[in-house]
Structure 1
Amino acid sequence: MMERNLRFKAKIAGKEYTIVGQKSALHLNSVVDIVNNQLQQLTEMTPELNNEDRSILMSVNAISDQLMKEQQILELEEEIEQLKTQIESKQSTRPNYSRRDQSNSHQVPYERE
């Protein structure tokens, strides 16, 4: 079943926009707040730039952040796979000391030095 597109009215840098998508109003409010805050920071840092140039800088920063997060996700997924392999390896080499496998219940499975 296809999700229904929602219409969301947003005010970004003093201009009204209608955003159409499937994200919640809560999500889009958060996005709009971040965009407005970043635009305000860029305005203070670069008063000589117009809003279009600031928007392009924000887009470049957003894509850069996205690529970094995607790389982090890939690295974490690889680490998870390595840890799973280590766990499976240790489980397959670990002796099974269940009661039925022990011929003498008083026997210690290892010795201390």
Structure 2
Amino acid sequence: MTGVSKIGEEYAKSAQHIEAGRQLFQAMNCSGCHSNGGGGMGPPLMKKNWIYGGSVENIASTIVEGRPNGMPTFRGLLPMEQVWEIAAFVKYMADHPTEK
């Protein structure tokens, strides 16, 4: 996924979707690897430079597809609505690194 999609923009601008993504981020134990966005075993999420792109679409793709060296795929484990919500929250963290 590259570029900006209508659905990606909708989720990334919605406080409701971002909050739902924050709750899912916690529930799915994303902090186990990403340490509340600051990095740990997984890369930090509160940064401007992303290996696979930092758009909400690229983040959603990473969640669905997984990435080499540790990021598992969540394909079939999460409905796409939840993938977009988590991606919106991660994008929010990257754009607002002093807030959580």
TM-score normalised per structure 2:
0.32
Q: Choose between structure 1 and 2 for higher RCO, CA contacts under 8 A separated by at least 6 residues.
A: 2
Larger radius of gyration: 1
More strand by share: 1
Q: Which has the larger helix fraction?
A: 1
